[in-house]
Amino acid sequence: MATAPIQESVASELREAAVLAVESIRSQPARSALAIIGVVIGIVTVVLVSSTLVGLRNSVALLFRELGTDNIFAFHTSGEPYAAGTSQDVKRPPLRAEFAPRIAALGPSIRDVGIELIVPVVTGTRAITARAGINESDTLLVEGISPNFYDVVGAEFTGGRPFTDYEERARAQVAVLGSSIARALFGARSSVGQSFLLGGDRYYVVGELAPRRGTFFGENRNDRVVAIPVNTARLKFPDAENTVLYIRAFPGLREEARLEAATILRLLRNVPPGEPDNFALNTADQIIAQFDRLGSQIFWATIALAAVSLVIGGIGIANVMIISVTERTREIGVRLAIGAKRGEVLRQFLFEAAILSGAGGVAGVVLATALGLLAAFLAPTFPAAPPWWAVLSGLTTSVFVGILAGYWPARRAAGLDPVEALRYE
């Protein structure tokens, strides 16, 4: 029971120190605000970048998992299919659509293989456009798709259906539209059964895809895709050659399917024994892991920049505390003379520094959240909500910076000689 009075005494001391600290800060609001600018900037940087990276990571994870967690993506370069490859990658021959049935037949762990033929958006000197009535769009992507592709990736349709094998063999001029391009061409009405012009040829819409959930910087490019049968794409766009194979494994056999696909592709592409693969095989997990590594590098670079701001903020707080100790030397002397303990004076000034810096942390979190909400208002898919760990880390760091910066001035205040302090003018 003896601990209760001690706890009450400590709590009372802490309350008194906090009240004195707050009164001191309120008496010099302009100086206090200037002192914490560095802390505010550092916390805003960390929280805003953290919320952006976390939001992007979740969107990218959903984006690639939508394409199938049991799928393996085969492409002739190690980069993204729509990006320019390295000088070494461009020397590799593209994959061929004819590989798909052979891979599916030869791989015991492989359930199916879908084909995606990427059509260059610029042919010759003109860009490919789509037009339906008075509506026209040039912000589209054109791909040749195999009839089984949408089953392989598990795509959802809002209306219509995928291509049939007959339409593929007959090189039919039919199309499946992503949600964004469907809205651009046909507005709110259903696009299924409608016709439009693509590159001067008329196509009929047989299916419309549901909006994709995953995004990258607010966009899922699959929502802008005009998909036509692979054989139709070959006929109409003979320059198209970049082919992505979506290799679907049987459940639980993805790694076995990956090894089988690598072996089969090496045989089909005549890769000599001992030579490295001249193609890339990736899974959704690998792509997400690559993004995580990049995000980690960006995050630590941000931490380094934020640390500079926090150091500047700490110097500002230390400077304010030194000035505060100097200005209040007589007050400190009076408190010590009437019986205040040196530990109480030390705690008072440490509290003042912690509250000052903590206020900077709170202001930084509020400002970062406001900026995130503003960005989300301008770009609705922008990740606005900061993760709880970033908020907690920001507030904890700001308080720690304040205590660290205020320790020496607080110790100096606690170490004053009462007699000399009372004589101070």
DSSP 252-314: T-HHHHHHHHHHHHHHHTTPPTTSPPSSEEEEHHHHHHHHHHHHHHHHHHHHHHHHHHHHHHH
Q: What is the pLDDT of residue 347?
A: 74
Per-residue confidence at 206, pLDDT binned at 50, 70, 90? very high
Candidate from 40-44, 192-196, 340-344, 371-375 with smallest mean pLDDT: 340-344
Phi, psi of 87 (to 5 degrees): -60, -30
Higher pLDDT, 379 or 78: 78
Distance separating alpha carbons of residues 236 and 315, to the nearest angstrom? 67
Distance of CA 283 to the CA centre of its chain: 19
Candidate from 76-85, 200-209, 229-238 with smallest mean pLDDT: 76-85
Residue 216 pLDDT > 60, yes or no?
no
**Which amino acid appears at position 108 of this protein?**
P
Which residues on adjacent β-strands are paired with residue 135?
Answer: 132
Per-residue confidence at 166, pLDDT binned at 50, 70, 90? very high
Higher pLDDT, 174 or 371: 174
Higher pLDDT, 142 or 354: 142
Q: What is the pLDDT of residue 77?
A: 83
Strand pairing class (135-137; 71-75):
unpaired
The Cβ-side half-sphere exposure at 373, using a 13 Å CA radius, reads 6
Find the mean pLDDT for residues 274-290: 80
Candidate from 151-165, 357-371, 407-421 with smallest mean pLDDT: 407-421
Q: What is the pLDDT of residue 163?
A: 93
Distance separating alpha carbons of residues 118 and 407, to the nearest angstrom? 63
Sign of the torsion angle spanned by Cα atoms 299, 300, 302, 306 = positive
The radius of gyration computed from the CA coordinates of the chain, to the nearest angstrom, equals 32
Residue 371 pLDDT > 90, yes or no?
no
Q: What is the pLDDT of residue 214?
A: 57
Per-residue confidence at 265, pLDDT binned at 50, 70, 90? very high
Higher pLDDT, 46 or 137: 137
Per-residue confidence at 147, pLDDT binned at 50, 70, 90? very high
Q: What is the pLDDT of residue 309?
A: 75
Candidate from 37-41, 55-59, 380-384 with smallest mean pLDDT: 380-384
Find the mean pLDDT for residues 103-117: 92
Find the mean pLDDT for residues 54-72: 69
Q: What is the pLDDT of residue 182?
A: 93
| Mean per-residue pLDDT over the chain, rounded | 80
Find the mean pLDDT for residues 249-254: 88
Phi, psi of 144 (to 5 degrees): -90, 125
Per-residue confidence at 20, pLDDT binned at 50, 70, 90? low
Highest-scoring range by mean pLDDT, 14-23, 25-34, 160-169, 383-392: 160-169
Q: Is 217 exposed, middle or buried (0-12, 13-18, 19+ CB in 10 A)?
A: exposed
Residue 218 pLDDT > 60, yes or no?
no
Residue 261 pLDDT > 80, yes or no?
yes
Residue 246 pLDDT > 80, yes or no?
yes
Q: What is the pLDDT of residue 229?
A: 96
Q: What is the pLDDT of residue 76?
A: 87
Find the mean pLDDT for residues 178-193: 91
Find the mean pLDDT for residues 100-125: 87
Residue 228 pLDDT > 80, yes or no?
yes
